[in-house]
Structure 1
Amino acid sequence: MATQMQLARQGVITEAMKIVAEQEHVTAEFIREGVANGTIAIPCNINHKNIIPRGVGTGLTVKVNANIGTSSSYPDPEPELAKLQAAIDAGADSVMDLSTGNNISASRQAIIAASTVMVGTVPMYQVTVETIKKRGAVVEMTKEDIFDVIRQQAADGADFMTIHCGINKNVLKALIDEGREMDVVSRGGSFITGWMLHNDAENPLYEYYDEILDICAEYDVTISLGDGLRPGCIADATDRAQIQELLNLGELTQRAWDKGVQVMVEGPGHVPYNQIAANMQLQKRLCHGAPFYVLGPLVTDVAPGYDHITSAIGGTLAAVSGANFLCYVTPAEHLGLPDLNDVREGVIATRIAAHAADLANGNKQAWEWDLKMARARKVLDWPAQLDLAIDPVKAKEYRCRKNKSDDEACSMCGDYCAVKIVGQYLEEHMRKN
């Protein structure tokens, strides 16, 4: 069966392309052309039966991902299904199942079966957990262990998979020679780095990359090229190791496209505000315009409990500068596993960042949304304002708690509402003239 990219190159407009075109208010031919040349990806595994396809890439609205999944401390998958629904209700375009608890396969299968949005995975998490159970240490994993999990997750319906293929011996040399404050903070990156150092061997994900692509092509899995050496603190941003890995990701992007496999490229991480635009532009150049998927970027290290805000600040600039897909960060980042409220707060904060970028990028739908809100505010149409809010639940709760039911203005201005006063005098002026 052909992939979306292979079909697009044959001139075929698939049903998924038509759905994305309708969502984005663009032509189906625009989507087909973007998928064909790699600047748009539609992560849509042939075995994910109830997905509503979404597009990620140039010329489209900025998309938002929510991370969910069990941990060794919280292995029960049921709360993660509730988080899945909370993320979808809050407007997430995708979720990633990052489970590391018991029954990883069962958790993933349940999430994919319940999800109408894209589902991503990180196969190295399951490989690591299973290898430790079987052999006692991640450094004992084999190529077969890795490929068995990748194939299983693809067959289960994972729409995109984060694979840390870009770390090779040259990248590790750059990491060791330059030194870092925080070394490696990516879990998948740390597993691969530890294995390579212990075994003094090349990264099997890099060495056998073509075989991974064959699996992705079979199920039309989009490969999300993971940034295993993303900076985990501001001091490590844009160093040699990060850039050397990015150079590898550019090469791997082209090799995936040669096989008709769709690609997204992942990016940092913790980056000071003044370096974000350059990071995005460098990625786009080195990776040939492939969709860019960023975590944050977080613009400071000192805001635990508020990292959904530090992430949103960086996310807007990233998306204005070329990023196409923002992975949420919740208030629980760096502190613990997010709960339902953290998931909701993270999605909304990241959606605000994405929408702000859509406005700056001139997206017509985004501008129409804001214009509707402005017009509703002008006439003090509270039902319309609340319905138009990016988070209607919180907006309605504030409106009810802070005002009397019959208040025309809000309690902040009360009788001195600027909109109401000027509206009255403008109306009087129009009557006289």
Structure 2
Amino acid sequence: MISYTTQMDAAKKGIVTTAMQVVAAKEKMAVERLRELVAEGKVVIPANKNHPSLDPEGVGAGLRTKINVNLGVSKDCCNLDLELEKAKRAIELKAEAIMDLSCYGKTQAFRRKLIDFSPAMIGTVPMYDAIGMLDKDLKDITADEFFQVVERHAADGVDFMTVHCGINRATAAKVKNNKRLTNIVSRGGSILFAWMELNHCENPFYEQYDRLLDICQAYDVTISLGDACRPGSIHDSTDAAQIEELVVLGELTKLAWEKNVQVMIEGPGHMAIHEIAGNMMLEKRLCHGAPFYVLGPIVTDVAPGYDHITSAIGGAIAAANGADFLCYVTPAEHLRLPDLDDMKEGIIAARIAAHAADIAKGIPGARDWDNAMSTARADVNFPRMIELAMDPEKAKRYRETSAPESEDTCTMCGEMCPMRNMKKILNGEELRLK
């Protein structure tokens, strides 16, 4: 029997893994075609060997657009029970991935509990955990200690990790020499930038990239190459720093593939609508078709409290033009840690964007859901419409809180309902409108 280290290693050797079989069935794709895409790096299946509860998902070319939910504790909001409740609710709402972005205290117990019960893939940003886990000032943390944190997360069972390898000294110089309105807004990227400035050293994850890849290979962790220079305002999008980092990430992608490490690329950020399609093409070109994971993009900076909407607009455009993975944004973005209601709003907005993009991309079966809903509407079958709704709970509540005189109408149109009247006329039924 041929042995393998990672999903990519297996795919290159012609081996179809159990995870590949599960993903191929979900995606209605021939398993051999999926294996080829994994071998080429155009699809990733984040599946840490230490995550036994995982229900595998694929991210990349020809597959449904996936969504990620961020959660985790901070110093000001440190309720682990609430974050676990959020995780369970996110799974119920069909999020394919959860990122634990906890940045306060000793978070390993929470992370392990999350991995133990979650069928969704789990991601982390080890840099967030470094200061709390090591209990040291940033300047005093050594490169070896950064790698210890990464290995701890990998051993715990994390399926993908965001590591900001592309913010090297040259990229940092672009940030300093090209004035931005919002500087670096990536939390992990800003921490590494500060560490480099304080210690006058190169980014250890760039300088010792092979060491990072060895850890990822050992546990089959998918590396999500973080965009430290993602734009934090529409003013800063597609600038020199963002593009410089993207070029570096493309080079790092090829090095990871040589070691059979699966790779995703992270992208913007805030970006005006007319720039999104071009950015998607640029990423796919410069990063050799690797799956693209975007935060939003948020298409205007002036809607705090409604950024689940600004990001859904950008996310739909991005995914329709090649992005493979959408990180949800909640109404609380830029304002506070989201609560359960915020989280739900963000998930539904991201799912709408992902599904709309899948229709545009021609993903097999994507239109079937819409056609079923349209059939229910033509039949004036409200129970079926509610059943098919992306959020049946909300649809049912709206229906019940405004009852019509006739059950085959709603309180918007009443007896003038075109669906009801066309159905009656075409069925040869008598129609009387008062």
TM-score exceeds 0.5: yes
Out of 46, 50, 54, the residue aligned to residue 51 of structure 1 is 54
Correspondence for 1:21: 24
Following the alignment from structure 1 to structure 2, what is the Cα–Cα distance between the partners of residues 20 and 325?
15
Following the alignment from structure 1 to structure 2, what is the Cα–Cα distance between the partners of residues 142 and 17?
38
Q: Which amino acid aligns with 1:282?
A: L
Correspondence for 1:120: 123
Following the alignment from structure 1 to structure 2, what is the Cα–Cα distance between the partners of residues 207 and 335?
35
Correspondence for 2:320: 320
Q: Is the 8 A contact 1:69 1:77 kept in 2?
A: yes
Correspondence for 1:9: 12
Q: Which amino acid aligns with 1:239?
A: D
Contiguous gaps of at least 5 residues in structure 2 = none
Correspondence for 1:67: 70
CA deviation map 1:135-191 (0-9, x unaligned): xx2122111211111001000000000000001111011111111111011100010
Q: Is the 8 A contact 1:174 1:241 kept in 2?
A: yes
- With over 3 angstroms needed to count, the CA separation of the structure-2 counterparts of 1:5 and 1:55, relative to structure 1, is same
Runs (4+) off by over 4 Å: none
The 5-angstrom pairing of residues 208-287 of structure 1 reads 208-287=208-287
CA deviation map 1:381-413 (0-9, x unaligned): 112111111111111111111225962111111
Correspondence for 2:87: 84
Secondary structure of 2:401's aligned partner: helix
Correspondence for 1:38: 41
Following the alignment from structure 1 to structure 2, what is the Cα–Cα distance between the partners of residues 198 and 130?
20
Following the alignment from structure 2 to structure 1, what is the Cα–Cα distance between the partners of residues 133 and 427?
72
Bigger drift between 327-336 and 169-178 goes to 169-178
Residue 229 of structure 1, CA deviation: 1.0
Following the alignment from structure 2 to structure 1, what is the Cα–Cα distance between the partners of residues 149 and 178?
34
Q: Is the 8 A contact 2:126 2:150 kept in 1?
A: yes
Following the alignment from structure 1 to structure 2, what is the Cα–Cα distance between the partners of residues 56 and 364?
15
Following the alignment from structure 1 to structure 2, what is the Cα–Cα distance between the partners of residues 216 and 91?
27
Q: Is the 8 A contact 1:99 1:107 kept in 2?
A: no
- With over 3 angstroms needed to count, the CA separation of the structure-2 counterparts of 1:172 and 1:116, relative to structure 1, is same
Correspondence for 1:409: 409
CA deviation map 1:340-387 (0-9, x unaligned): 111111111000000000011112311111000000110011121111
Following the alignment from structure 2 to structure 1, what is the Cα–Cα distance between the partners of residues 6 and 121?
16
Q: Is the 8 A contact 2:66 2:324 kept in 1?
A: yes
Q: Is the 8 A contact 2:185 2:231 kept in 1?
A: yes
The 5-angstrom pairing of residues 288-303 of structure 1 reads 288-303=288-303
Secondary structure of 1:53's aligned partner: coil
CA deviation map 1:184-206 (0-9, x unaligned): 11100010000111111110110
Residue 428 of structure 1, CA deviation: 2.0
Following the alignment from structure 2 to structure 1, what is the Cα–Cα distance between the partners of residues 328 and 195?
29
Secondary structure of 1:88's aligned partner: helix
Following the alignment from structure 1 to structure 2, what is the Cα–Cα distance between the partners of residues 233 and 200?
28
Correspondence for 1:161: 161
Q: Is the 8 A contact 2:406 2:414 kept in 1?
A: no
Bigger drift between 204-213 and 406-415 goes to 406-415
The 5-angstrom pairing of residues 82-231 of structure 1 reads 82-131=85-134, 133-134=135-136, 137-231=137-231
Q: Is the 8 A contact 1:273 1:299 kept in 2?
A: yes
Bigger drift between 45-54 and 380-389 goes to 380-389
Q: Which amino acid aligns with 1:60?
A: L
Q: Is the 8 A contact 1:74 1:101 kept in 2?
A: no
The 5-angstrom pairing of residues 393-432 of structure 1 reads 393-404=393-404, 407-428=407-428
Residue 130 of structure 1, CA deviation: 3.3
- With over 3 angstroms needed to count, the CA separation of the structure-2 counterparts of 1:416 and 1:189, relative to structure 1, is same
Q: Is the 8 A contact 2:115 2:158 kept in 1?
A: yes
TM-score, normalised to structure 1, is 0.97
Contiguous gaps of at least 5 residues in structure 1 = none
RMSD: 1.3
Secondary structure of 2:103's aligned partner: coil
Correspondence for 2:388: 388
Following the alignment from structure 1 to structure 2, what is the Cα–Cα distance between the partners of residues 47 and 188?
25
Secondary structure of 2:90's aligned partner: helix
